[in-house]
Every structure is written in C-alpha cells, then in structure tokens.
A and B are shown apart, each in its own frame.
Chain A
Amino acid sequence: MASALRRLGSAAARRGLSTACEDTKKSLFQLPQAGGKSSNLCSAINQALHIALESDPRSYLFGEDVSFGGVFRCTTGLADRYGKSRVFNTPLCEQGIVGFGIGLAAMGNRAIAEIQFADYIFPAFDQIVNEASKFRYRSGNQFNCGGLTIRAPYGAVGHGGHYHSQSPEAFFCHVPGIKVVIPRSPRQAKGLLLSCIRDPNPVVFFEPKWLYRQAIEEVPEEDYMLPLSEAEVIREGSDITVVGWGAQLSIMEQACAGAEKEGISCELIDLKTLIPWDKETVEASVRKTGRLLISHEAPVTGGFGAEISASIVERCFLRLEAPVARICGLDTPFPLVFEPFYMPTKNKILDAIKATVNY
C-alpha cells in the first residue's frame, strides 16, 4: 500500500531531507500544504508542546530541568505560559518520573514526561515495561495510561560517549502495549509528537538530538497531526528498498544519492513508528525491488533491524534477490574515541547497497 506521493519542494535543510505530502486517505491527519516558518527540530517540538498544552487544559509536562527550557531548550516558554502547576521540574529520579506519569495518566490526564537523555531511561524501564504497557490489559480495560507520552533525546552527536549517545529503541520495541515513534525532521516531529500526545496509548517518543539544531525546515505554524504506524516512502526507486528512522535517514539519503550516481535506484522508507510498524508499506516496496537494507545506530545484534528483516523474509521470501542487509552500530558499548568506526556511515551503507544489488 505504498501511497503515491508527491514530493514537495522542501526548504533547504542542511541535510537535504525531502518532505512528502501526506496521502489523502487519512483526512484527519493532513500535513498543511502551505509552507510555514523556518524552524529547527527543538523549536518544532517546542511548538508542538505549546499546542498540546493549549488544546488540552488537562495536559502536564514534567521532567528534569524542563521548567527553564530544558537542556536542549525544547521546553522554553512553557512554564511561563501555562504556569508552574502544569509545567514543572522533577527531582533526579527517572523511575519516579515515569511511574508518576503513569499514575497521572491513569486519572485521565495527558502526562508528557521528559527523560533528559535516552541513556538514562533504564531506571524507568521497569515502569514502562511492567506498568505502562500492561495497565489496560491487566485491568480488563478498566484503567489505562494512554495519556502518557515519554520524550527522550537519543542518538549519537559525535562526542557523546557511552552515556549521551545510546539508541535504546530496540528494548522498547519488544513490549506490546506501548508505541515507539521516532521523527526524522522538524516538520515530521511536530505532527508526530502531537499525534503521540493525543494517541490513547502510552508512547515513547525518541528525538534525534543530533538534529535539534542542525535540521531546519519549514514547519507549519498551525496544529496538525501525522498518522502513527504509517511508514513513508521519501524517495522512490526500483533496485533496492532502504529502511531507517530518525537521524540515520539523512545519512541514508546521502548514500542513496551516491548510489544513484552509480546507476542504482534506491527506495528510501522512513518507518516513523517502530511499534506497531507498517509492514505493508515495506512489504510492497520489497515486492517491487526485491532487495532490502536496514540501517540504525543501535548495535546490530538484537536491534530493530532484525525484526524488520525477519518479518520481511517471512512475507517476501521468494521475491528476495539477495540477503537482507543490516548496516548498524557495532556490538560494543557506544564508544568514546572510536565513534567514527562504530557508526553506520554513508560509505558503509553505500558499500552494502552495491554488494546487495550485485549479489
């Protein structure tokens, strides 16, 4: 069901990401046609949070240091505008923050919890896996914490080292009951974040911190939502399907451009929602091209690429012309000085594209 997409002229993002117009089937979710204001990722997220707090008086935002604007400035102006009772700092206790958010959501509120870096989310892992994801299920739908959205910056920045660069999305993709969403650009982030906040399920929203200031796009100023669990084909092609999410897409886009010079036409898909993920779009694309490559920053073993690979092989075994390639981080802790070797770079992806096509 890969929808026919028109490519809108995009504003000059430094990374040259293309944006595509939403398909017309979902009229509820529509990316506004008109341009918008030039914004970077953290300001797009800030706009989304403003709209979320404005549109629902029972929504609350909390986390470490969010009150003055947060360490990445994504929450500037919110405490001033909506008051200290709705936008407040928590002490340094991730487990407490998420647990508290679950309770707040269980009372029918929208709780937007911020975890300062995705690397710190692990004390809260128990709360997310054992409490948030199972609440509706184990109470027979009497209770739920659907109003909970957890935002966390993730991903490499070039010098983050072991504890400011991790991509933990794979751990959460193993948990039925929550959704995991990762935007690739400011425009996507605003729409997706608003959808996540308004989605009646608990959502973990990972924001690619590398793009906070680097990615600039025209972001519509109004309230708009983008559908969850719908992947987007952001570049059409016929030789190989390349799937990714978040900041890695910009690297993959460069690799696809490089491959094009060598005569290989790549179809690039942004998964956007990791669970529940849009298997149909990826499957339709692989049926067209016959080859698949997945790339993510997280370590290759047990990363989400493994799930995509297994599902697609299951569905498209006879159509596949080559093994599914995964170009991912290496199976080591995220290194400090070795980061350039660890990362799935453009050249590694390009090399794998060529190897897969020439299999």
Chain B
Amino acid sequence: MALSRAASASRAALLKPLAAGFLTSAPSPLRRPISTDTTPITIETSVPFTSHRCEPPCRSVETTPQELVSFFQDMAKMRRMEIAADSLYKAKLIRGFCHLYDGQEAVAIGMEAAITKKDCIITAYRDHCIFVGRGGTLLEVFAELMGRRDGCSRGKGGSMHFYKKEAGFYGGHGIVGAQIPLGCGLAFAQKYSKDENVTFAMYGDGAANQGQLFEALNMAALWDLPAILVCENNHYGMGTAEWRASKSPAYYKRGDYVPGLKVDGMDALAVKQACKFAKEHALKNGPIILEMDTYRYHGHSMSDPGSTYRTRDEISGVRQERDPVERIRKLLMSLELATEKELKDIEKQVRKEVDEAIAQAKESPMPDPSELFTNVYVKGLGAESFGADRKEVRTVLP
C-alpha cells in the first residue's frame, strides 16, 4: 500500500528507542510503548449515525492506542481463524455446515469493547468470532468445528452451536430468527435481577422478516426490557439480496415504535460507540434496534461460492474500501502508533497461534459414543443400544 510505505519511510527518523512489551505473548525489545498506552485519543467514525426515534450518538469516539492495537490483534486473529476454518473444511476435517464471519469482525470486536462479560450476547449460526470475542480460545473453536472433545460444546454442537456460559454467550442457533425471543427472555431475567446488564440479540437481514422477531420486539417494548436487537445486515440472506426479500431494507426503522440506529458495521469504533449508546439507552428506556451495515466475503456457508448472486467486483470493492482490519491498520499507521512491520509481526504471531491451535485440536479425541445419550434430559435417557447380535451385546446407557 502506497500510504503505508510513504508513512513508514517518513517515520524512520521518528523512531524512539524504548523497550516495551508489544506482542502479548513474547516480550520483545521495541521502540515505543503501543499496546500499553492508555492515553485517550478521539477518532471520528467513518460516517455519521442515522437514527430512528432517538438522538444519534456523536461521531467522535473515545479510544486509546492500547485498545486500537487490541482491535487489530483480535480482528486479525478472527480473520485468520475463519480462513483456516475454510481450509479445514475443504480438507474435510470439518464437516456439516460452516458459516464464516470474515468481513464482519468489526461488529464482534466493537461490541465487546463497549460491554462487559456480564452482558449477554445471543446470535445465530455465524458465531465463531462472537465466541472468540467473548473469550473463547482458538483450541475450543477448532476442536468444536472438528467435533472433538475439547470443543466448547464438547464436540456435540458443531459450527452452529458455540456457547460460553461464564462469559454470557448464549450461542449459536440454527433456526433463523429463533434466538430473538430467547434474547428478550434473557433481558427480562436481567431486568428482574436488577444488575444493570443488557442483552444483545443478534440476527441477520434474512431473519428480519421472521414473525417471531416482531413478537419478541413487542414484548420487549411493552415491558421495557434491556434488550438490544442487533441486525447484522450483510445485505444477502443466503443468496437473496435484501431488496428482494424486504419491502423495507431499512432494518433499523423496522421496530416502528422502537428506536433504531444505523451503524457502519465495518468500522469497529462506530460499532463500539453505538453499542455503548445502546446499552445506556436500553437500561433507561427499553429496547433499541442497531442495524450494522456490514459485509461477508465468503458465501453464506461453505457450500455457497458466494459469487452467483453478487459480482466478484463487489466483493473485492468492499475488501478494498471498507475492510475492517485494514481500516484499523491504516488508522494505527497514520496516527503513528505502529509501523507496518509491527503490524505484520502481529499477523505472523496470530498465524502461529492459529496453526498451533489447529494442531492441538487435531490431537483431541472424538467424544465417547456414550455421549450420544448424555444430556438429552437432565440425567440422560434410559436408552438401550444393541450391536449386530441383539442377544449378546446389549447395554443400557445413562
């Protein structure tokens, strides 16, 4: 990139020799403190927010260099993870369904920056990165994708069913739109226990036309629940463009009596600002809808090439102009918070972490066959299983 080359050339003279831990895993002598610098800086979001029935938050976002570097690191990790999952799927180590999130990382990252682990997140099946944002490890991700015991759901869920109870991540749901009423239920429980937490119920533009969304929205509004409905609008519901599926693709306005905010979902700082605003709003005034204008580079799932309903030019255009990782990279370099080399080192480190996690996950064994019957009910079902000769091999499973 011309910008970065020019910048780094001109910055060569500005390098101050300072030792500071840069990469979180291995200390290395570096020039200036970046990742631990917490002096606040203010950055303007790419576009202003558009609002429906509320005052939009201001465009200037408070952040710190440490936060920006962590954004870059985490998004690079998510990006690398999804691309690795793509290769694993093609190598048939991951089977079944795999819905990749690359392109949409800013939504997961920005949201985490604005909330705590006591707030709940519930989403649909494109959940790998949300899980990582909530604190999931790469090993848990890859093991679950490959159906191994060390996976977050013990290998029984697969790609679409990641959960993390301690971090308030309620998953990972296959049926489109079904998670939204669940999210409103979570919000009710939070309101009841008066602990000032909120729930982010995420869904896509395809699910925006499900009846249960409106049922849940009505209940949330009627009872002033601290529920934030986040529509991750990547403009395609599987293969159907939003204008073909929805009379009104302005999803942030669909709540009618519920206020809404449209956010540039490729700008992690805008997402952070919007989620912070939404949390404050929900605790005071009840539900709000956030529409994240985002994009996915892969197809709907691994069986979708993603190019039959949109042009390759469109995909590469978005990648060039709005890529969330690139945006943070450019920001870091233009603010002289990191050099190109340092960022590349982060990416190399991330790649190494991902490869190690995959290797470790491959070692993990498959779940025990008896696990087929566990957790159907609280203590499992008194089911019988028999082998080829009925009379000989007959076991009663837990």
Residues of A within 8 A of B (CB): 64-65, 68, 89, 91-93, 95-96, 119-120, 122-123, 159-164, 330-333, 335-338, 341-342, 347-348, 350-352, 355
Contact = CB atoms under 8 A, between A and B. Distances in A.
Contacts of B245: 89, 91-92
B209 A164 contact: no
21 contacts: A64-B238, A89-B245, A96-B209, A119-B174, A120-B176, A123-B210, A159-B96, A161-B160, A162-B174, A164-B96, A330-B383, A331-B383, A332-B376, A336-B158, A337-B155, A337-B156, A338-B367, A341-B385, A348-B388, A350-B388, A352-B390
Given A123-B212, A159-B95, A335-B372, 5 more contacts: A92-B209, A161-B96, A163-B175, A337-B156, A347-B388
Contacts of B389: 351
B147 to A, nearest CB: 4
B366 interface: yes
A95 B381 CA distance: 32
Interface in B94-121: 95-97
Contacts of B257: none
B332 interface: no
B155 A123 contact: no
Contact of A332 (B95, B174, B207, B381): B381
Contacts of A123: 210-212
A342 B176 contact: no
B56 interface: no
Nearest to A157: B96
B209 A342 contact: no
B239 A161 contact: no
B376 A333 contact: yes
B196 to A, nearest CB: 34
B27 interface: no
A338 B210 contact: no
A341 B369 contact: yes
B364 to A, nearest CB: 12
Interface residues of B, number: 44
A93 B240 contact: no
Contact of B385 (A162, A330, A351): A330
Interface in B235-258: 237-240, 244-246
Interface of B: 95-97, 147, 155-158, 160-161, 174-177, 206-207, 209-212, 237-240, 244-246, 308, 366-367, 369, 371-373, 376, 381, 383, 385-391
Given A92-B210, A331-B376, A355 B391 contact: yes
A122 B174 CA distance: 13
B209 A93 contact: yes
Contact of A336 (B156, B212, B387): B156
Contact of B372 (A330, A350, A351): A330
Nearest to B95: A159
Contacts of B237: 91-92
Contacts of B388: 347-348, 350-351
Given A92-B207, A159-B95, A355-B391, A337 B367 contact: yes
A333 to B, nearest CB: 7
A359 to B, nearest CB: 11
A162 B147 CA distance: 13
Contacts of B383: 330-332
Given A65-B240, A92-B176, A161-B160, A330 B373 contact: yes
A160 B98 CA distance: 11
A351 B390 contact: yes
B157 A336 contact: yes
Nearest to A337: B147
Given A161-B97, A336-B96, A355-B391, A65 B239 contact: yes
Nearest to A347: B388
B220 to A, nearest CB: 20
A342 B372 CA distance: 8
The binding surface of chain A is classed by DSSP as: loop
Contact of A93 (B97, B211, B373, B391): B211
7 smallest beta-carbon distances between A and B, as pairs: A163-B174, A337-B147, A91-B209, A338-B372, A159-B95, A91-B245, A336-B158
A164 B97 contact: yes
A270 B203 CA distance: 42
B175 A336 contact: no
A341 B372 CA distance: 8
Contacts of B238: 64-65
Nearest to A300: B383
A304 B95 CA distance: 30
A347 B244 CA distance: 48
A138 B239 CA distance: 40
A333 B175 CA distance: 14
Instruction: Point out which of A163, A332, A336, A338 has the most chain B C-beta atoms below 10 A from its C-beta.
Output: A336
Nearest to A350: B388
B305 to A, nearest CB: 13
Contacts of B211: 93, 95-96, 123
A92 B176 CA distance: 8
Contacts of A355: 390-391
Nearest to A92: B206
A301 B373 CA distance: 15
Contacts of A89: 240, 244-245
Contacts of B97: 161, 164
A337 B160 contact: no
Contacts of A164: 96-97
A166 to B, nearest CB: 11
A282 B26 CA distance: 72
Contacts of B391: 355
Contact of A335 (B156, B239, B390): B156
A338 B210 CA distance: 31
Contacts of A95: 211
B366 A337 contact: yes
A120, A164, A337: residue with the most chain B Cβ atoms closer than 10 Å: A337
A251 B387 CA distance: 17
Contacts of B209: 91-93, 96
Nearest to B161: A162
Contacts of B373: 330, 332
A330 B383 CA distance: 8
Nearest to B125: A163
A338 B371 contact: yes
A331 B386 contact: no
A89 B212 CA distance: 20
A264 to B, nearest CB: 15
Contacts of A333: 376
